[in-house]
Structure formats: C-alpha cells, structure tokens
Amino acid sequence: MLLIPAIDLKDGKCVRLQQGDMNASTTFGEDPAAMARRWLDAGARRLHLVDLNGAFAGKPVNEGAVKAILREVGDDIPVQLGGGIRDLDTIERYLDDGITSIIIGTAAVKSPGFLQDACTAFGGHIIVGLDARDGKVATDGWSKLTGHEVVDLALKFQDYGVDGVIYTDIGRDGMLSGINIDATVKLARALTMPVIASGGLSGMADIEALCDVEGEGISGVICGRSIYSGALDFAAAQKRADERGAAR
C-alpha cells in the first residue's frame, strides 16, 4: 500500500480544503518545493500535486510552483498532477517538464473523446480522477454533481486504456472522517486497473483498513490533511503498510 502525500496548490502556496471549498482553505506552507522535500525526506515514494486554481479556471495556474517541486525532487520519485488539464498540449508540456502521470478529472467526464485521445497519445501516463458524492460523479472542482455512476464511468475509461483511477469521496475530503472503504472496494472489484483511495484519511486505523483490502486492487491512498495536521505520522504509516505488505 503506497501512501502518497498530497500537495494542493492555491495561489502558489500549499493548502488543504474542506470538501473542495476554495473559501475553506488552510495554508500549510508558503514554499511548495520545501514541502515536497519534507515528504521526500520522510520516505515518500510518490507525490500527488493538485493545481486547485487550475481546477476551477480550467487551465494551469500554478505551473511555476509545479516546476519548482519538480526541480526539488528531480528524478528521485514519480510525481502525478491534476487540476485544469483540458488539452493534449498541456499534457505534453507537463510530461516534458518531468511529471510522471497526468490526472484527468472534469475533462474525462465532460469530454470522453479527449480522454481517449490522451490515452492514445500518452499511454501509461494517464490517470482518471473520479470524485463522487453518494456514488455520483462530481465535476468542476466538485461544484457540479452529475448523474453518472462512478463504476459505470470507470469501466468505460478502463476500456480507453487509462493507467488507474483515483477515487475521492468528496463528502469526506479534508474532514478527517475516514476513508470510504466500502465504496472504494466496490469500485476496485469492478475494475482490473488499480484504484487509489482518497478523501477523509483520518489516521492509522484507515491505513490498517486499507491494507486489509489491498488485495481487492487498491494500490495506494492519497494523504492530505491527516499528515499536515499531525493526525497521521507519514513515515510510521508507510513503514506499517510495508510491514503488512511483506507479511501477506
């Protein structure tokens, strides 16, 4: 089970939101590159970046901060990025900059043809972000709820050749209320591609619960507010997850 620290970028700073509300943000760092170094030094083996302004603007906004992070981590670990990525040129530019995987969320739902083109052009580098409330997919920085069922869309996108899916329960995100294990397992069981859990990670109990169901196809979990608030010790949690994996 891979624990993936999230660095959410708003106005060039590291923040965390509550339930995706840009007006309910907490700043955890002024220097994104220094934050990336912090998690790298703590043993992170992958980073998860989100351009929050970009997600709402529909185009990259925090590209400078993204590049600073990439300069800091170099080739040490893979970095995945989402937020405001709506065209193939932007994907190509970010991959050229050193991003490993591009996360497509809103555009995947609204323009499935774009997602299909992205998978064709950049196979192995495209992850879909499916954000949902009560099993229904949300778009546009979680501000709009669609009628699409998570599992149905994920199956369609799997056929396109995406590399995996990040499933976020937006009702829990940033609330430290616990990962929605049941919904994540339901999705993972329906797919052959890996699922990364996200939204509401509250502490070590969630890590243990995720390790219990790792065999269902859940490959990792995004760590946000829990590791910034101190509710979860990142290094200790990754060590525990590694021990659980070795014992399997």
Collapsed DSSP state (helix, strand, coil) of residue 74: coil
Collapsed DSSP state (helix, strand, coil) of residue 4: strand
Cα–Cα distance measured from residue 46 to residue 27, given in angstroms and rounded to the nearest whole number = 22
Q: Judging by DSSP bridges, how do beta strands 13-18 and 21-29 pair with one another? A: antiparallel
Q: Compute and round to an integer the Cα radius of gyration of the chain.
A: 16
Phi-psi sector, 81: left (phi>0), alpha (psi -120 to 50), beta: beta
- DSSP per-residue string spanning 90-107: HHHHHHHHT-SEEEE-HH
Contact 108, 55 (CB under 8 A): no
Q: Does 31 qualify as catalytic in the annotation?
A: no
Contact 143, 174 (CB under 8 A): no
For residue 100 the two structure tokens come to 């490993």
Q: Does 8 qualify as catalytic in the annotation?
A: yes
Crossing angle for the helix pair 63-73 and 32-41, to the nearest 10 degrees: 30
- Choose the catalytic residue: 51, 131, 169, 206: 131
Tell me which residues are annotated as active site.
8, 131
